[in-house]
Homo-oligomer: A and B are copies of this chain.
Amino acid sequence: MKKVKVGVAGYGVIGQRLADGVALQGDMELVGVADVAPTLSVRALKERGMPYDLYTALPEKRKDLADAGIPVSGTLEDLVQKVDIMLDATSAGVGARNKELYATYDKKAIFQGGEKNSVADVFFHGYANYEKGLGAQFLKLTSCNTTGLIRAVDCIDRKVGVEKVAITIIRRVADPGDYHRGLTNALQIEHAPSHQALDLMTIMPHVDATGILVHTPVTHGHIITIVMTTKQELSTEEALAYFGEHPRIRIVSLAEGFLGNASLFRYARDLGNPRGDMYEIALWSDSVVKSGKDLMFAINIPQEAVVIPENMDAIRAAMQMQTDRIEATSLTNKYLGIGKWKEHA
Protein backbone atom coordinates (compact mmCIF):
# COMPACT_ATOMS: atom_id res chain seq x y z
CA MET A 1 0.00 0.00 0.00
CA LYS A 2 1.20 3.44 -0.85
CA LYS A 3 1.95 5.49 2.21
CA VAL A 4 0.18 8.79 2.75
CA LYS A 5 2.62 11.67 2.47
CA VAL A 6 2.45 14.14 5.32
CA GLY A 7 4.11 17.51 5.99
CA VAL A 8 4.14 19.47 9.23
CA ALA A 9 4.09 23.27 9.34
CA GLY A 10 5.38 24.76 12.60
CA TYR A 11 8.05 22.82 14.46
CA GLY A 12 7.20 23.91 18.00
CA VAL A 13 5.76 22.09 20.99
CA ILE A 14 2.97 20.46 18.98
CA GLY A 15 4.66 20.35 15.58
CA GLN A 16 7.60 18.28 16.80
CA ARG A 17 5.33 15.74 18.36
CA LEU A 18 3.13 15.58 15.26
CA ALA A 19 6.24 14.88 13.19
CA ASP A 20 7.34 12.13 15.56
CA GLY A 21 3.81 10.71 15.58
CA VAL A 22 3.58 10.59 11.78
CA ALA A 23 7.03 9.00 11.59
CA LEU A 24 5.74 6.17 13.77
CA GLN A 25 2.67 5.42 11.60
CA GLY A 26 3.49 2.48 9.41
CA ASP A 27 1.14 3.66 6.67
CA MET A 28 2.30 7.29 6.54
CA GLU A 29 5.48 9.00 5.41
CA LEU A 30 6.77 12.19 6.96
CA VAL A 31 8.03 14.27 4.05
CA GLY A 32 9.36 17.15 6.10
CA VAL A 33 8.70 19.92 8.58
CA ALA A 34 8.61 23.69 8.13
CA ASP A 35 9.55 26.51 10.43
CA VAL A 36 10.74 30.10 10.21
CA ALA A 37 13.67 30.55 12.58
CA PRO A 38 16.54 28.72 14.30
CA THR A 39 14.55 28.08 17.46
CA LEU A 40 15.83 25.71 20.12
CA SER A 41 13.70 22.96 18.62
CA VAL A 42 15.17 23.53 15.19
CA ARG A 43 18.68 23.62 16.65
CA ALA A 44 17.96 20.34 18.40
CA LEU A 45 16.81 18.86 15.09
CA LYS A 46 20.19 19.80 13.66
CA GLU A 47 22.13 18.40 16.62
CA ARG A 48 20.23 15.15 16.11
CA GLY A 49 21.55 15.06 12.54
CA MET A 50 18.40 16.22 10.72
CA PRO A 51 16.23 13.10 10.95
CA TYR A 52 13.52 15.23 9.31
CA ASP A 53 14.07 17.58 6.36
CA LEU A 54 13.43 21.21 7.23
CA TYR A 55 11.66 23.65 4.94
CA THR A 56 11.51 27.36 5.51
CA ALA A 57 8.14 28.98 5.92
CA LEU A 58 9.56 32.46 5.38
CA PRO A 59 12.09 32.31 2.53
CA GLU A 60 13.26 35.84 3.37
CA LYS A 61 14.51 34.54 6.72
CA ARG A 62 16.39 31.61 5.24
CA LYS A 63 19.64 33.40 6.02
CA ASP A 64 18.98 33.18 9.77
CA LEU A 65 18.75 29.43 9.46
CA ALA A 66 21.87 29.27 7.32
CA ASP A 67 23.76 31.43 9.81
CA ALA A 68 22.88 28.93 12.52
CA GLY A 69 24.15 26.11 10.33
CA ILE A 70 20.72 24.60 9.76
CA PRO A 71 20.35 22.83 6.41
CA VAL A 72 17.19 23.87 4.57
CA SER A 73 15.55 21.60 2.00
CA GLY A 74 13.28 24.18 0.39
CA THR A 75 10.33 26.41 1.11
CA LEU A 76 7.00 25.63 2.72
CA GLU A 77 5.52 25.91 -0.75
CA ASP A 78 7.92 23.22 -1.95
CA LEU A 79 6.89 21.00 0.94
CA VAL A 80 3.19 21.47 0.30
CA GLN A 81 3.61 20.29 -3.29
CA LYS A 82 5.25 17.06 -2.15
CA VAL A 83 2.60 15.94 0.32
CA ASP A 84 -0.94 14.61 0.35
CA ILE A 85 -1.87 16.41 3.54
CA MET A 86 -0.44 19.07 5.83
CA LEU A 87 -0.59 19.15 9.62
CA ASP A 88 -0.55 22.83 10.50
CA ALA A 89 0.78 23.53 13.99
CA THR A 90 1.82 27.12 13.45
CA SER A 91 0.99 29.93 15.86
CA ALA A 92 -2.65 30.87 16.14
CA GLY A 93 -3.74 32.83 13.09
CA VAL A 94 -0.91 31.73 10.82
CA GLY A 95 -2.78 28.59 9.86
CA ALA A 96 -5.59 30.63 8.38
CA ARG A 97 -3.06 32.30 6.08
CA ASN A 98 -1.34 29.03 5.22
CA LYS A 99 -4.70 27.61 4.24
CA GLU A 100 -4.59 29.66 1.04
CA LEU A 101 -1.37 27.95 0.07
CA TYR A 102 -2.83 24.54 0.80
CA ALA A 103 -5.90 25.42 -1.26
CA THR A 104 -3.78 26.65 -4.15
CA TYR A 105 -2.26 23.22 -4.49
CA ASP A 106 -5.52 21.49 -3.67
CA LYS A 107 -4.08 19.76 -0.63
CA LYS A 108 -5.84 18.69 2.50
CA ALA A 109 -4.85 20.18 5.85
CA ILE A 110 -5.48 19.73 9.54
CA PHE A 111 -5.41 22.72 11.84
CA GLN A 112 -4.93 22.84 15.61
CA GLY A 113 -7.12 24.17 18.41
CA GLY A 114 -5.66 27.66 18.33
CA GLU A 115 -7.15 28.46 14.94
CA LYS A 116 -10.67 29.78 14.54
CA ASN A 117 -13.32 27.20 13.74
CA SER A 118 -14.02 28.97 10.45
CA VAL A 119 -10.66 27.80 9.08
CA ALA A 120 -12.01 24.27 8.71
CA ASP A 121 -14.91 22.38 7.22
CA VAL A 122 -15.13 20.06 10.19
CA PHE A 123 -14.30 20.41 13.88
CA PHE A 124 -12.94 16.95 14.59
CA HIS A 125 -12.34 14.42 17.37
CA GLY A 126 -11.10 10.92 16.56
CA TYR A 127 -13.43 9.11 18.93
CA ALA A 128 -16.44 11.41 19.05
CA ASN A 129 -17.11 12.28 15.40
CA TYR A 130 -14.64 10.39 13.21
CA GLU A 131 -17.22 9.90 10.50
CA LYS A 132 -17.65 13.64 9.98
CA GLY A 133 -14.02 13.95 8.96
CA LEU A 134 -14.16 11.36 6.22
CA GLY A 135 -12.85 12.90 3.03
CA ALA A 136 -12.96 16.45 4.31
CA GLN A 137 -10.38 18.85 2.93
CA PHE A 138 -9.88 21.03 6.01
CA LEU A 139 -10.25 19.74 9.55
CA LYS A 140 -9.66 21.48 12.84
CA LEU A 141 -8.72 19.53 15.92
CA THR A 142 -9.95 20.36 19.40
CA SER A 143 -7.45 21.90 21.82
CA CYS A 144 -5.61 19.78 24.36
CA ASN A 145 -8.11 20.14 27.20
CA THR A 146 -11.11 19.58 24.99
CA THR A 147 -9.51 16.58 23.29
CA GLY A 148 -8.87 14.83 26.57
CA LEU A 149 -12.18 15.85 28.07
CA ILE A 150 -14.17 14.54 25.10
CA ARG A 151 -12.44 11.16 25.38
CA ALA A 152 -13.92 10.76 28.85
CA VAL A 153 -17.34 12.22 28.04
CA ASP A 154 -17.71 10.30 24.78
CA CYS A 155 -16.65 7.12 26.56
CA ILE A 156 -19.58 7.33 28.97
CA ASP A 157 -21.95 8.83 26.41
CA ARG A 158 -21.66 5.77 24.20
CA LYS A 159 -22.49 3.52 27.17
CA VAL A 160 -25.34 5.21 29.01
CA GLY A 161 -25.78 8.65 27.45
CA VAL A 162 -24.60 11.97 28.86
CA GLU A 163 -27.03 14.85 29.43
CA LYS A 164 -24.79 17.52 30.83
CA VAL A 165 -21.37 18.23 32.25
CA ALA A 166 -20.06 21.04 34.44
CA ILE A 167 -16.28 21.16 34.32
CA THR A 168 -13.58 22.93 36.32
CA ILE A 169 -10.34 23.24 34.41
CA ILE A 170 -7.27 23.63 36.59
CA ARG A 171 -4.98 24.68 33.80
CA ARG A 172 -1.18 24.63 33.55
CA VAL A 173 -0.26 28.12 32.44
CA ALA A 174 2.89 27.39 30.41
CA ASP A 175 4.87 24.49 28.96
CA PRO A 176 8.28 23.49 30.31
CA GLY A 177 10.79 25.89 28.78
CA ASP A 178 8.30 28.70 28.11
CA TYR A 179 9.69 32.15 28.84
CA HIS A 180 7.12 34.17 26.92
CA ARG A 181 4.26 33.50 29.32
CA GLY A 182 3.92 32.55 32.95
CA LEU A 183 2.22 33.23 36.26
CA THR A 184 3.98 33.63 39.59
CA ASN A 185 2.18 32.77 42.83
CA ALA A 186 -1.24 33.46 41.39
CA LEU A 187 -4.36 31.69 40.28
CA GLN A 188 -6.13 33.36 37.36
CA ILE A 189 -9.79 32.91 36.57
CA GLU A 190 -11.39 33.44 33.17
CA HIS A 191 -14.84 34.46 32.09
CA ALA A 192 -17.27 31.55 32.26
CA PRO A 193 -18.31 29.44 30.45
CA SER A 194 -14.88 28.34 29.30
CA HIS A 195 -14.31 27.81 25.58
CA GLN A 196 -13.61 24.13 26.24
CA ALA A 197 -17.22 23.64 27.34
CA LEU A 198 -18.46 25.45 24.26
CA ASP A 199 -16.13 23.44 22.02
CA LEU A 200 -17.36 20.21 23.54
CA MET A 201 -20.91 21.18 22.57
CA THR A 202 -19.81 21.82 18.98
CA ILE A 203 -18.50 18.26 18.75
CA MET A 204 -21.22 16.70 20.94
CA PRO A 205 -24.26 18.95 20.38
CA HIS A 206 -26.58 16.72 22.39
CA VAL A 207 -24.64 17.41 25.61
CA ASP A 208 -25.18 20.55 27.71
CA ALA A 209 -21.77 21.74 28.89
CA THR A 210 -20.49 24.62 30.96
CA GLY A 211 -17.37 25.25 32.94
CA ILE A 212 -14.95 27.49 34.78
CA LEU A 213 -11.24 27.70 33.99
CA VAL A 214 -8.53 28.67 36.46
CA HIS A 215 -4.89 29.06 35.41
CA THR A 216 -2.29 27.76 37.86
CA PRO A 217 1.48 28.32 37.88
CA VAL A 218 2.58 24.84 36.82
CA THR A 219 3.80 23.30 33.57
CA HIS A 220 3.08 19.55 33.65
CA GLY A 221 -0.54 18.90 32.72
CA HIS A 222 -4.02 20.25 33.32
CA ILE A 223 -6.39 18.65 35.80
CA ILE A 224 -10.11 18.78 35.01
CA THR A 225 -12.91 17.88 37.38
CA ILE A 226 -16.16 16.87 35.76
CA VAL A 227 -19.65 16.74 37.23
CA MET A 228 -21.60 14.60 34.80
CA THR A 229 -25.32 13.93 34.56
CA THR A 230 -25.93 10.68 32.72
CA LYS A 231 -29.15 9.49 31.10
CA GLN A 232 -28.95 6.22 32.97
CA GLU A 233 -27.52 6.26 36.47
CA LEU A 234 -24.06 4.79 36.87
CA SER A 235 -22.19 3.46 39.89
CA THR A 236 -18.60 4.50 40.44
CA GLU A 237 -17.56 0.90 39.73
CA GLU A 238 -19.39 0.84 36.41
CA ALA A 239 -17.89 4.18 35.44
CA LEU A 240 -14.39 2.96 36.25
CA ALA A 241 -14.97 -0.19 34.25
CA TYR A 242 -16.03 1.83 31.20
CA PHE A 243 -13.14 4.25 31.50
CA GLY A 244 -10.77 1.32 31.92
CA GLU A 245 -11.77 -0.08 28.55
CA HIS A 246 -10.86 3.08 26.69
CA PRO A 247 -7.42 2.75 25.05
CA ARG A 248 -6.58 6.43 25.52
CA ILE A 249 -7.57 6.66 29.20
CA ARG A 250 -5.19 5.40 31.84
CA ILE A 251 -6.64 4.62 35.28
CA VAL A 252 -4.23 5.63 38.05
CA SER A 253 -4.39 5.86 41.83
CA LEU A 254 -2.83 7.70 44.72
CA ALA A 255 -1.78 4.37 46.23
CA GLU A 256 0.38 3.66 43.20
CA GLY A 257 2.11 6.97 43.73
CA PHE A 258 0.28 9.13 41.18
CA LEU A 259 -0.19 12.16 43.41
CA GLY A 260 -0.80 14.74 40.70
CA ASN A 261 0.17 16.01 37.27
CA ALA A 262 3.89 15.99 38.12
CA SER A 263 3.78 12.28 39.00
CA LEU A 264 2.47 11.55 35.54
CA PHE A 265 5.25 13.52 33.91
CA ARG A 266 7.80 11.74 36.08
CA TYR A 267 6.29 8.39 35.16
CA ALA A 268 6.34 9.15 31.43
CA ARG A 269 10.01 10.14 31.68
CA ASP A 270 10.80 6.95 33.60
CA LEU A 271 8.97 4.96 30.94
CA GLY A 272 11.54 6.27 28.50
CA ASN A 273 8.87 7.99 26.40
CA PRO A 274 10.51 10.54 24.08
CA ARG A 275 10.42 13.97 25.74
CA GLY A 276 8.61 12.36 28.69
CA ASP A 277 5.40 12.56 26.65
CA MET A 278 2.18 10.71 27.33
CA TYR A 279 -0.64 10.28 24.84
CA GLU A 280 -3.23 9.01 27.30
CA ILE A 281 -5.20 11.11 29.72
CA ALA A 282 -5.09 9.80 33.27
CA LEU A 283 -8.15 9.32 35.44
CA TRP A 284 -7.79 8.94 39.19
CA SER A 285 -9.81 6.04 40.54
CA ASP A 286 -9.71 7.82 43.93
CA SER A 287 -11.54 10.79 42.46
CA VAL A 288 -14.65 9.03 41.22
CA VAL A 289 -17.60 9.88 43.48
CA LYS A 290 -21.34 10.26 43.24
CA SER A 291 -23.07 13.63 43.61
CA GLY A 292 -26.65 12.51 44.04
CA LYS A 293 -27.34 10.67 40.79
CA ASP A 294 -24.51 12.51 39.05
CA LEU A 295 -20.94 11.34 38.68
CA MET A 296 -17.87 13.40 39.61
CA PHE A 297 -14.26 12.59 38.72
CA ALA A 298 -10.92 14.11 37.81
CA ILE A 299 -8.67 13.63 34.80
CA ASN A 300 -5.16 14.75 33.88
CA ILE A 301 -4.39 16.21 30.46
CA PRO A 302 -0.75 15.96 29.28
CA GLN A 303 -1.01 19.14 27.24
CA GLU A 304 1.99 18.68 24.99
CA ALA A 305 1.19 15.27 23.52
CA VAL A 306 -2.48 14.53 24.13
CA VAL A 307 -3.67 15.78 20.74
CA ILE A 308 -1.19 13.72 18.71
CA PRO A 309 -3.33 10.55 18.45
CA GLU A 310 -6.43 12.48 17.39
CA ASN A 311 -4.34 14.23 14.72
CA MET A 312 -3.29 10.85 13.35
CA ASP A 313 -6.96 9.86 13.38
CA ALA A 314 -7.73 13.04 11.46
CA ILE A 315 -5.27 12.12 8.71
CA ARG A 316 -6.94 8.72 8.49
CA ALA A 317 -10.36 10.33 8.17
CA ALA A 318 -9.42 13.07 5.72
CA MET A 319 -7.49 10.65 3.51
CA GLN A 320 -10.20 8.00 3.94
CA MET A 321 -7.55 5.49 4.93
CA GLN A 322 -10.15 3.79 7.16
CA THR A 323 -13.87 4.40 7.16
CA ASP A 324 -14.50 2.84 10.54
CA ARG A 325 -13.88 4.81 13.70
CA ILE A 326 -12.63 1.86 15.74
CA GLU A 327 -10.45 0.55 12.96
CA ALA A 328 -8.84 3.95 12.48
CA THR A 329 -8.24 4.81 16.12
CA SER A 330 -6.96 1.29 16.78
CA LEU A 331 -4.37 1.63 14.02
CA THR A 332 -3.27 5.00 15.41
CA ASN A 333 -3.01 3.45 18.85
CA LYS A 334 -1.03 0.49 17.58
CA TYR A 335 1.55 2.63 15.82
CA LEU A 336 1.89 5.01 18.79
CA GLY A 337 2.16 2.14 21.28
CA ILE A 338 -0.98 3.27 23.13
CA GLY A 339 -2.55 0.59 25.25
CA LYS A 340 0.59 -1.54 25.16
CA TRP A 341 0.98 -0.81 28.88
CA LYS A 342 -2.28 -2.60 29.59
CA GLU A 343 -0.70 -5.91 28.65
CA HIS A 344 1.93 -5.46 31.33
CA ALA A 345 -0.44 -4.04 33.92
Given A269-B275, A291-B164, A292-B163, A345 contacting B69 (CB threshold 8 A): yes
Residues of B within 8 A of A256 (CB): 38, 40, 43, 68
Contact status B298-A40, CB under 8 Å: no
**Interface flags, A16-46, vs B, CB<8A=1, else 0:** 1000000000000000000000111101111
How close is A36's CB to chain B, nearest CB, in angstroms?
13
- The A64-80 residues at the B interface (CB cut-off 8 A) are 68-69
A262 and B178 alpha carbons, distance in the complex (Å)? 8
Minimum CB distance partner of A12 in chain B: B270
Contact status A47-B265, CB under 8 Å: no
A271 interface residue (CB < 8 Å to B): yes
Of B41, B46, B179, B276, which one neighbours A260 at CB under 8 angstroms?
B179
A177 interface residue (CB < 8 Å to B): yes
Minimum CB distance partner of A344 in chain B: B47
How close is A20's CB to chain B, nearest CB, in angstroms?
9
A212 interface residue (CB < 8 Å to B): yes
A208 interface residue (CB < 8 Å to B): yes
A218 interface residue (CB < 8 Å to B): yes
A335 interface residue (CB < 8 Å to B): no
How close is A342's CB to chain B, nearest CB, in angstroms?
10
Of B49, B214, B260, which one neighbours A298 at CB under 8 angstroms?
B214
Contact status A345-B272, CB under 8 Å: no
Given A69-B345, A229-B292, A292-B229, A259 contacting B216 (CB threshold 8 A): no
Contact status A257-B43, CB under 8 Å: yes
A83 and B181 alpha carbons, distance in the complex (Å)? 41
Contact status A220-B176, CB under 8 Å: yes
A232 interface residue (CB < 8 Å to B): no
Contact status B210-A270, CB under 8 Å: no
- The A166-187 residues at the B interface (CB cut-off 8 A) are 166, 168, 170, 172-174, 176-179, 181-187
Contact status A44-B271, CB under 8 Å: yes
Residues of B within 8 A of A270 (CB): 16, 40-41, 44-45, 275
Contact status A254-B191, CB under 8 Å: yes
Contact status B189-A184, CB under 8 Å: no
Given A192-B289, A344-B47, A269 contacting B176 (CB threshold 8 A): yes
A129 interface residue (CB < 8 Å to B): no
Identify which of A88-96, A110-118, A150-158, A280-288 touches chain B.
Answer: A280-288
Contact status B184-A47, CB under 8 Å: no
Contact status A40-B219, CB under 8 Å: no
Residues of B within 8 A of A182 (CB): 173, 181-184, 186, 217
How close is A89's CB to chain B, nearest CB, in angstroms?
14
Minimum CB distance partner of A272 in chain B: B274
- Partner-B contacts on A (CB < 8 A): 16, 38-41, 43-49, 68-69, 163-166, 168, 170, 172-174, 176-179, 181-193, 208, 210-212, 214-221, 223, 225, 227, 229, 254, 256-263, 265-267, 269-272, 274-276, 284, 286-292, 294, 296-298, 341, 344-345
